[in-house]
A and B are shown apart, each in its own frame.
Chain A
Amino acid sequence: MTDKEIVKLEDVWVYYDGAPALEGINLTVEQGDFLGIIGPNGGGKTTLLKVILGLIKPSRGKISIMGEPPEKRHSVVGYVPQYNLFARDFPINAIDVVLMGHCGRTRLFKRYSEEDRKSARSALKSIGMLDYEEHQIGKLSGGEQQRVFIARALVSKPKLLLLDEPTSSVDAATQTEFYETLEGLKQRMAIVIVSHDIGAVSIYVDKLACLNRQLFYHGSSEISPEVLEATYKCPVQMIAHGTIPHRVLKEH
């Protein structure tokens, strides 16, 4: 293992009731990587995420996070779940959501320490949300909620930030703003985004991989129509709207 290597998957297979969800995945994420993994729904994106998070043990193959099995490396990975999956009316303020990022470390009978609170505040500050710390989470806008969840992932000072469908149900302006936030974090950690939204992701990431049970990995975020077709099993047209900064891909 090299020093820069954060996640390494070697020939990982996952079966659900005998049907393969992931087939022979090889993937390496290194320090400073900004990787997008795209693929159709049901293509195994969530499964791959759960393998990296240590929630699913692969049926075959090996996964290591900085040289150790994922369940020993909780604080290395900052996880931002699909943000629309929580109960919006839950009685909780932004700062308490962010504090949850510490829940793995603190012991029973102990409240969050002053230090925990400090680092939660500085995480909120780093993404420009400190003014909203006492706001109930559901009263924030979609983009603001998402930034709170990123702050929660940041408090454990992760080496890898893992985001699941971050731009689903967010408008275009918020999306741009969101990727700019990530741009600012790129220096400090590797970032992996999992999404079915080809257009938005491929504009911003440095590397791109397509997942449909198998992983088609690309060094750069230019991606050929053949690979997209192989992933999505149907012709795919790439679309860019209006004034969103976009990358024109070379002809193949």
Chain B
Amino acid sequence: MLEALQFEFMQNALIAGLLASVACGIIGVYVVVKKIVFISGGIAHASFGGVGLGYLLGVNPVITATFFTVASALGMGLVSKRTKLPEDTAIGILWSMGMAMGIIFIGLSPGYAPDLFSYLFGNILTVPTSDITLMIILDIVIAVIVVALYKEFMVLSFDEEFGRVMGVPVERLYLLLLCMIALTVVILMRVVGIILVISMLTIPASLAKMCTTNLRKMMLLSTIFGAIFTFAGLWLSYELDLASGATIILVSGSVLLISLAVSKIRSRRNRIKKLSTTAFNSHGNK
């Protein structure tokens, strides 16, 4: 692995992994605590329409995907909040419509669509420097917005109705949050791919949630976990010659499952210990 680091593609891969960890570390926390995993999945899949648009127009698909994904996030938010369609129905419909548009766009574009697979399933080893620049910009946008509106997003995530009562513009904040999820999707697209984005948005944050009860610390931890998983997955995929995106996901998923099991066993053991000490004490009191 170390000798591989002298290659530019490997350096880019590490930088891309780190940038992706920052975005999914911050935004993933909101996705998990506000329980908006389904709409995030919808936004992620709809981004495929933007990739298709890029092929059709002959420009960098990541750029078209940025605009298309933000637009579909806003669309999903507005349709699910303002129309009579139940929220999950609205999300499901726009989810598949976005993907359908991607397929039509790619069909209409001339010739063969190269590295389409890397958008769907990610290929961190092929991230060009231009995409890295874009990822840095998007990361900064996300970080600035979250710092600026930290209290407001806290209210939005914890108690939307109370925020509304206090005069906080919750609907606009929610739409903004969806837009940031869209930007995160674009950042993660090259690393793990559209289809696998949702696990990077959920796994590091869920793991962080098991460690802390402070939202800020949860973001920091989740970013660190994301970086560790990305690097570990990248190394494994390099050593074993496996698909990088999928390896990253399986590494993080396995760690999460193992920690869940460990914490379950630990809490059961604690309970038994407590029971036996109280039994002992009451015995001693007699």
Contact = CB atoms under 8 A, between A and B. Distances in A.
Nearest to B151: A103
Given A112-B151, A136-B213, A90 B165 contact: no
A74 interface: yes
B221 to A, nearest CB: 11
Given A53-B165, A74-B165, A81-B162, A103 B213 contact: no
B267 to A, nearest CB: 14
Given A93-B214, A103-B151, A106-B151, A87 B35 contact: yes
Given A93-B213, A93-B214, A108-B149, A86 B164 contact: no
B209 A91 contact: yes
Chain A at the B interface: SS class: loop
A81 B159 contact: yes
A192 to B, nearest CB: 14
Interface string A173-210: 00000000000000000000000000000000000000
A158 to B, nearest CB: 11
Interface string B144-158: 000111111011011
Given A81-B159, A104-B167, A136-B213, A91 B152 contact: no
B136 interface: no
Contacts of B149: 108
Interface in B30-62: 33, 35
A106 B148 CA distance: 12
7 contacts: A79-B162, A79-B165, A86-B159, A89-B209, A91-B212, A111-B150, A152-B162
A75 to B, nearest CB: 8
A168 B158 CA distance: 20
A55 interface: yes
Contacts of A87: 33, 35, 158
A103 B161 contact: no
**Top-6 shortest CB links A-B:** A104-B166, A136-B213, A74-B167, A104-B167, A91-B213, A109-B148
A103 B168 contact: yes
B75 interface: no
A5 B197 CA distance: 55
B218 interface: yes
Nearest to B157: A90
A103 B165 contact: no
Given A81-B161, A90-B157, A97-B158, 11 more contacts: A79-B162, A87-B158, A89-B209, A91-B209, A93-B214, A96-B154, A100-B155, A103-B151, A103-B166, A104-B166, A109-B147
A103 B158 contact: no
A106 B152 CA distance: 10
Contact of B152 (A55, A71, A81, A103): A103
B253 interface: no
Chain B at the A interface: SS class: helix
Nearest to B159: A86
A92 B213 CA distance: 6
A185 B166 CA distance: 21
A17 to B, nearest CB: 10
A50 B158 CA distance: 19
B154 A100 contact: yes
Contact of A91 (B164, B166, B214): B214
A103 B163 contact: yes
B167 A71 contact: yes
B215 interface: yes
A54 interface: yes
A55 B164 CA distance: 7
A90 B155 contact: no
Contacts of B152: 103, 108
B76 to A, nearest CB: 22
Contacts of A109: 147-148
Nearest to A86: B159
Query: Which among A55, A93, A97, A104 has the highest number of chain B CB atoms within 10 Å?
Result: A104
Contacts of A111: 150-151
A184 B214 CA distance: 32
Query: Which among A53, A77, A90, A112 has the highest number of chain B CB atoms within 10 Å?
Result: A90
Interface in B112-165: 147-152, 154-155, 157-159, 161-165
A54 B161 CA distance: 11
Interface string B210-236: 001111001000000000000000000
Interface string A49-87: 000011100000000000000010010010101000011
Interface string A84-125: 001101111100110111011010110110000000000000
B148 A100 contact: no
